[in-house]
């Protein structure tokens, strides 16, 4: 990999040992200069021996160790352009049209970076995540040892910019990601970046954030110290039973998780059955009782539910002949609502029952009122009355789910035949009934029916990761049940 140490002069400032990788686009080097100087990449003019560096190639420039680069550009904010009144939508540019329709911001594809764009769009739908990120303090550094910090800062700054622009190029986040995880910077035989596995990216980002984001008022006896574990992390009760020795007692332990898996087999047609299948497996381990290896039944039950539950469809299997992660295209139905009560331990189920009963009371009242008024639609129940939104977490465990009920709020899909090829897209819910397809910089309004069509069965976009958020209990103010 051709990496050089170059000198950069910016006004009175000199940077004597800046790394420059000629395998990467110059725009990524400009993102690195932004971390050093605070000058936005689009405002930089970088020159080598009097020749201005373009954004797309180093081929025509004499890059070597010690070469002097001159950068011009001010770190001052660009003044806001005056707002113009546009009479017709067809006269608007992309930015004006996005603002008029109030579309979420899109993310530019910087060369097979759709896996990252889709992941960011999905995580951005968690309001508590946005809140804790906004209070994270710090700036980018060039130290590889500060990987978790740099990832956190890069995501924080990217989400902030997405609130004010219609399309954003995630250059700095890509640069940081490549620096920390070189495998994401692998090049294809044609010279561009290779496609990467979006769920692998999702997992690595959460692992980095896990190290830096502090929890929001966790109780003294909590087993977690960070926000990610608090709001995205669950816990299994694990039971091991020796199938070859009745006299050997069951062994129990606990495992933490940030994601549930949905196994796909010939018998699995629905998300729930795939989740159940993933919680039971046969393993081989040494038995101290038999003094040899034996087969054990390993059973997992959920002992703690996080507020935000992500589910991965295990759709890819490694094929040695082609050396690829081949995709299972089978149609696995999922719903906009999810109930995981049956996957929980008896102890947790008992804790979930009080809020579940309140949900049932509200649903029963909706049905009774609809019948009385001769209505078929229950959504209008008490719509003119003020409502109270009840906490979705247990009082002694902020960030948990106290009912077992979830609502779908984001879907990450894959189109193609292997995890390292094809195309990834994020589908996000902004409010009930309002969904958007975030296909890199192209963001469009879609329907709930469009979301349910992402269940697989062909070469169309297929759900790979689902993100469920807590279902919120709402009761009329005038008849609020006791908490």
- Phi, psi (degrees; rounded to nearest 5) at 226: -120, 160
Lookup: tokens for 189? 């035989």
* Whether residue 341 sits in one domain with residue 285: yes
In this predicted structure, the answer to whether residue 13 has a pLDDT above a threshold of 50 is yes
Lookup: tokens for 25? 């686009």
* Whether residue 53 sits in one domain with residue 106: no
Name which residue leads in pLDDT, 458 or 456.
Answer: 456
Name which residue leads in pLDDT, 178 or 84.
Answer: 178
Q: How far apart are CA 78 and CA 267, in angstroms?
A: 58
Is 149 labeled as catalytic in the residue annotation? no
Among the listed residues 114, 262, 344, 438, the single catalytic one is 114
In this predicted structure, the answer to whether residue 24 has a pLDDT above a threshold of 60 is yes
> In terms of residues, how long is the chain?
483
Is 114 labeled as catalytic in the residue annotation? yes
User: For residue 361, what is the enclosing H or E element?
Assistant: helix 346-373
**Site of tokens 């906490």:** 391
Q: How far apart are CA 430 and CA 409, in angstroms?
A: 8
Range of the domain at 56: 1-74
* pLDDT, position 109: 95
- Give the number of domains in the chain: 2
Q: How far apart are CA 168 and CA 164, in angstroms?
A: 9
Q: Under 8 Å CB-to-CB from 177, ≥6 apart: which residues?
A: 116, 151, 154, 184, 185, 201
Domain-embedded: residue 84? no
Reference 209, options 179, 232, 190, 186; nearest CA is 232
Alpha helix positions (H), 90-238: 94-101, 114-123, 127-134, 147-162, 171-180, 198-212, 227-232
Domain-embedded: residue 152? yes
* pLDDT, position 483: 46
CA 420 to chain centre: 18
Residues paired with residue 7 on neighbouring β-strands, in sequence order? 68
- Residue 29 in contact with residue 20, Cβ under 8 Å? yes
Domain-embedded: residue 80? no
Mean pLDDT, the chain, integer: 87
- Phi, psi (degrees; rounded to nearest 5) at 372: -65, -35
* Whether residue 120 sits in one domain with residue 39: no
* Whether residue 150 sits in one domain with residue 57: no
pLDDT per residue as tens digits for the range 273-324: 999 999 999 999 999 999 999 999 999 999 999 999 999 999 987 766 666 6
431-438: long-range contacts at Cβ-Cβ below 8 A with a sequence spacing of 24 or more? 432/407, 436/103, 436/104, 438/104, 438/106, 438/107, 438/117, 438/118, 438/121
Domain-embedded: residue 86? no
Q: How far apart are CA 70 and CA 74, in angstroms?
A: 13
* Whether residue 153 sits in one domain with residue 34: no
* Whether residue 469 sits in one domain with residue 355: yes
The DSSP output letter for 105 is: P
* Whether residue 255 sits in one domain with residue 152: yes
Q: How far apart are CA 378 and CA 200, in angstroms?
A: 40
CA 217 to chain centre: 23
- Confidence (pTM): 0.80
Reference 355, options 482, 216, 468, 218; nearest CA is 482
Q: How far apart are CA 366 and CA 283, in angstroms?
A: 48
Q: What is the dihedral of CA 66, 68, 74, 80, to 10 degrees?
A: -90
* Whether residue 451 sits in one domain with residue 370: yes
* Whether residue 134 sits in one domain with residue 1: no
CA 317 to chain centre: 22
Least confident of 183-187, 346-350, 447-451, 463-467: 183-187
CATH no. for residue 18? Answer: 3.10.20.90
CATH no. for residue 449? Answer: 3.90.70.10
* Whether residue 342 sits in one domain with residue 470: yes
Lookup: tokens for 12? 């009175």
* Whether residue 65 sits in one domain with residue 159: no
Q: Three-state SS for 185?
A: helix
Q: How far apart are CA 154 and CA 258, in angstroms?
A: 22
Domain-embedded: residue 82? no
CB-CB neighbours of 3 under 10 Å: 11
- Residue 370 in contact with residue 376, Cβ under 8 Å? yes
* Whether residue 471 sits in one domain with residue 333: yes
Q: How far apart are CA 412 and CA 414, in angstroms?
A: 7
pLDDT per residue as tens digits for the range 151-194: 999 999 999 999 989 999 999 999 999 999 999 999 887 778 89
Domain-embedded: residue 366? yes
Among the listed residues 149, 245, 280, 423, the single catalytic one is 423
Domain-embedded: residue 29? yes
N- to C-terminal Cα separation, the chain:
61
pLDDT per residue as tens digits for the range 404-435: 999 999 999 999 987 778 999 999 999 999 99
CA 204 to chain centre: 10
């Amino acid at each position: 990999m051709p990496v050089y140490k170059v000198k950069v002069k910016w006004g009175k400032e000199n940077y004597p040992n800046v790394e420059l990788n000629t395998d990467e686009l110059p725009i990524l080097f400009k993102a690195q200069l932004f971390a050093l100087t605070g000058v936005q990449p689009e405002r930089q003019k970088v020159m080598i021996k009097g020749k201005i560096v373009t954004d797309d190639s180093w081929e025509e420039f004499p890059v070597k160790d010690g070469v002097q680069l001159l950068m011009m550009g001010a770190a001052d904010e660009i003044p806001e352009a005056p707002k113009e009144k546009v009479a017709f939508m067809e006269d608007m540019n992309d930015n004006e049209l996005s603002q008029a329709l109030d579309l979420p911001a899109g993310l530019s594809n910087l060369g097979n970076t759709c896996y990252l764009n889709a992941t960011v769009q999905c995580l951005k739908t968690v309001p508590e995540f946005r809140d804790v990120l906004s209070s994270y303090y710090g700036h980018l550094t060039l130290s590889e040892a500060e990987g978790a910090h740099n990832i956190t800062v890069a995501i924080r700054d990217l989400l902030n910019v997405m609130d004010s622009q219609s399309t954003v190029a995630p250059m700095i986040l890509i640069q940081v990601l490549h620096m920390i995880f070189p495998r994401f910077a692998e090049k294809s035989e044609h010279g561009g970046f290779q496609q990467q596995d979006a769920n692998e990216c999702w997992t690595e980002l959460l692992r980095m954030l896990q190290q830096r984001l502090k929890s929001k008022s966790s109780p003294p006896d909590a087993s977690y110290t960070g926000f990610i574990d608090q709001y995205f992390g669950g816990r299994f009760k694990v039971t091991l039973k020796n199938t070859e020795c009745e006299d050997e007692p069951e062994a129990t332990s606990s495992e933490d998780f940030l994601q549930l898996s949905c196994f796909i087999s010939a018998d699995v047609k629905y998300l729930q059955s795939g989740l159940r299948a993933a919680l039971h497996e046969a393993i081989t381990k040494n038995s101290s009782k038999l003094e040899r290896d034996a087969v054990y039944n390993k059973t997992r039950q959920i002992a703690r539910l996080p507020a935000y539950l992500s589910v991965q469809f295990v759709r890819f299997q490694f094929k040695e002949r082609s050396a690829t992660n081949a995709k299972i295209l089978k149609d696995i139905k999922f719903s906009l609502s999810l109930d995981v009560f049956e996957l929980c331990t008896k102890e947790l189920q008992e804790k979930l029952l009080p809020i579940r009963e309140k949900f049932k009371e509200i649903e029963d009242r909706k049905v009774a009122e609809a019948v009385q008024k001769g209505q078929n639609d229950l959504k209008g129940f008490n719509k003119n009355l003020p409502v109270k939104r009840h906490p979705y977490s247990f009082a002694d465990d902020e960030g948990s789910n106290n009912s077992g009920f979830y609502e779908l709020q984001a879907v990450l899909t894959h189109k193609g035949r292997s995890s390292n090829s094809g195309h990834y897209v994020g589908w996000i819910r902004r409010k009930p009934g309002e969904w958007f397809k975030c296909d890199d910089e192209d963001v469009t309004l879609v329907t709930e029916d469009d979301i349910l069509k992402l269940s697989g069965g062909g070469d169309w976009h297929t759900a790979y990761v689902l993100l469920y958020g807590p279902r919120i209990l709402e009761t009329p103010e005038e008849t609020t049940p006791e908490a």
